[in-house]
Amino acid sequence: MSLWTAREIAAATGGIASADFAAEGVTFGSREVGPNDLFLALKGETTNGHRFLDGAFAQGAAGALVSEQTAHPHVEVADTFAALEALGKAARARTAARIIGVTGSVGKTSTKEALFAALDRAQPGEAHRSVKSYNNHTGVPLSLARMPAASRYGVFEMGMNHPGELAHLTTLVRPHVAMVTAIAPAHTAFFPDESAIADAKGEIFRGLEAPEGGRGGVAIVPFDSPHRDRLRAAAEPYAGRIVTFGLDRGADVAALETMRTRTGGTFVTARVGERELSFTVGQPGQHWVSNALGVLAAVDAVGGDLGMAGLALAELGGLQGRGARFLAPVSGGEALVIDESYNANPASMRATLAVLALEPSRKLAVLGEMRELGTKSAAYHAGLAEPILAANAGPLVLVGEAMAPLAEALEGKTDFVHVADAAAARAVLKDMLAPGDAVLIKGSNGVGLSALVAGLKAGTL
């Protein structure tokens, strides 16, 4: 069965179809076009997707959504971005799936992936989720447009770096369950304080709906957060029920006991409402225990299978750029690489340094600067000295100009090299790594440490 027909696309977007065609996928990335995809020719400040139409059809596109004339099979609209939103709304309107929305300063992509794994484990092939980190004004409607009408569950990540963004995205997703994973300093260049970040994240609750329609969905709030009451207040006008999760026993979904496993994960006994459940979290770190409790809260809220969710959490591997682990060849042997290269803020830096601390071998770290932290950037960077020293990490490679305050704070306390960019870090790390080492690689995505990870994986460092 096709995902969209030309007639359905035209009806959803108010466009005019040039021919009959059926699309099995949707993309706006010309390099991602596969056989029978619908290619969205979006226009941006520096790009125009219409330039790539020939290439998209050469790769097998079934049709295109366009706002300019073309000889290829298409649906023509006045504005392709507005049409993308309309297509996303139509996808949401036609499904009877239980919809979960996820946001937070840290952990939202990992939690989204864990939720999908938990739901898919019980109902294989019937769950849908946002891919990668498609969580912004284009990624969210694209993820919705890709959802098959017969899906039983949909899990959508929503991000923001300015007030008001989530308020709009949540009206597209219209979640039955909305979760905030955690509140932490991130994008502080655009917010006066952490409370303002909590307020912006709390916008996700404005789109809550009950499965039968109308308001009254489930809001899931982190109990351990200092902003718990603020988030509850944000949810109360829109939620029929508020559920808390956390390591504290006062949470509705709480960790009663935790014990580290031999493989680095955590064995957890949790209370979910009136029930108890024991399961293993395969990924290391206390932050993953918290993520897992949020997953259980959401699975329970949509009537999913908690036992299968526990099995999925045990099997879940690390994501590329967000905790994936692999052995990299180095001269004379191999070194363990912990890939956290996709993003960084003060909270996620602390969490992953705590994970590095668990490694029994020599612990190296390549730490890229944390961006969008505004006037508090220097203090946030210098504040990483404490978790670095607690982890007994070193030698270190500090990458980027914003790392200067951390370099100053670490002077004389551990071995480090401060370099300008990822290319320089690559050259330094090559001479540092030895067989048996564990190396954490983490920084804001714009620093470009993913290229360093790719070099390690390929053995071309």
Integer angstrom CA distances of residue 353 from 96, 367, 379: 42, 10, 18
pLDDT above 80: residue 147: yes
Q: Is residue 151 a known part of a binding site?
A: no
Please check whether residue 94 is in contact with residue 83, taking contact to mean a CB–CB distance below 8 angstroms: no
CA dihedral 245, 248, 252, 253 (to 10 degrees): 50
Q: Is 53 helix (H, G, I), strand (E, B) or coil?
A: helix
Q: Same domain, yes or no, for 196 and 104?
A: yes
287: Cα separation from own chain's centroid: 14
> What is the number of residues in the chain?
461
- In sequence order, what are the residues at sequence separation of 6 or more whose Cβ sits closer than 8 angstroms to the Cβ of residue 381? 369, 370, 373, 402, 403, 404, 405, 406
β-bridge partners, 158: none
Q: How far apart are CA 64 and CA 255, in angstroms?
A: 49
Q: Which residues of 235-252 are buried (b: 16+ CB within 10 A; e: fewer)?
A: beebbeeebbbbbeeebb
pLDDT-derived band at 460, boundaries 50, 70, 90: confident
Q: Is residue 131 a known part of a binding site?
A: no
User: Which uninterrupted H or E stretch holds 18?
Assistant: none
pLDDT above 90: residue 264: no
* Dihedrals phi, psi of 457, to nearest 5 degrees: -65, -40
Q: How far apart are CA 316 and CA 308, in angstroms?
A: 12
pLDDT above 90: residue 357: yes
Q: Is residue 348 a known part of a binding site?
A: no
Q: Is residue 415 part of a domain?
A: yes
Please check whether residue 19 is in contact with residue 57, taking contact to mean a CB–CB distance below 8 angstroms: no
Q: What is the chain's mean pLDDT, rounded? A: 95
Please check whether residue 285 is in contact with residue 348, taking contact to mean a CB–CB distance below 8 angstroms: no
Q: Is residue 85 part of a domain?
A: no
The CATH number that applies at residue 358 is 3.90.190.20
Q: Is residue 269 a known part of a binding site?
A: no
Q: Same domain, yes or no, for 256 and 342?
A: no
The CATH number that applies at residue 269 is 3.40.1190.10
CA dihedral 64, 65, 69, 72 (to 10 degrees): 10
pLDDT above 70: residue 181: yes
pLDDT above 70: residue 278: yes
Tally of structural domains, the chain: 3
Q: Is residue 87 part of a domain?
A: no
DSSP assignment, residue 435? T
- In sequence order, what are the residues at sequence separation of 6 or more whose Cβ sits closer than 8 angstroms to the Cβ of residue 126? 119, 120, 150, 151, 152, 153
pLDDT digits (tens, 9 = 90+) for 282-325: 999 999 999 999 999 999 999 999 999 999 999 998 888 888 99
| Residue listed under structure tokens 């520096």 | 46
Q: Is residue 2 a known part of a binding site?
A: no
Share of the chain above pLDDT 90, in %: 88
pLDDT-derived band at 44, boundaries 50, 70, 90: confident
Q: Is residue 207 part of a domain?
A: yes
pLDDT digits (tens, 9 = 90+) for 96-120: 999 999 999 988 999 999 999 999 9
- Smallest CA-to-CA distance from 365 within 302, 417, 324 is with 417
Q: Same domain, yes or no, for 344 and 283?
A: no
- Residue 6 CB neighbours (<10 A): 23
- Residue 260 CB neighbours (<10 A): 13
Q: Same domain, yes or no, for 226 and 342?
A: no
Q: Same domain, yes or no, for 181 and 104?
A: yes
Q: How far apart are CA 98 and CA 448, in angstroms?
A: 37
Mean pLDDT over 362-381 rounds to: 95
Q: Same domain, yes or no, for 184 and 234?
A: yes
Q: Same domain, yes or no, for 310 and 343?
A: no
Q: Same domain, yes or no, for 132 and 209?
A: yes
pLDDT of residue 188: 67
Retrieve residue 394's tokens: 């070193």
Query: Which residue, 285, 315, 345, sits at the end of a domain?
Result: 315
pLDDT above 90: residue 229: yes
Structural domain harbouring 283: 95-315
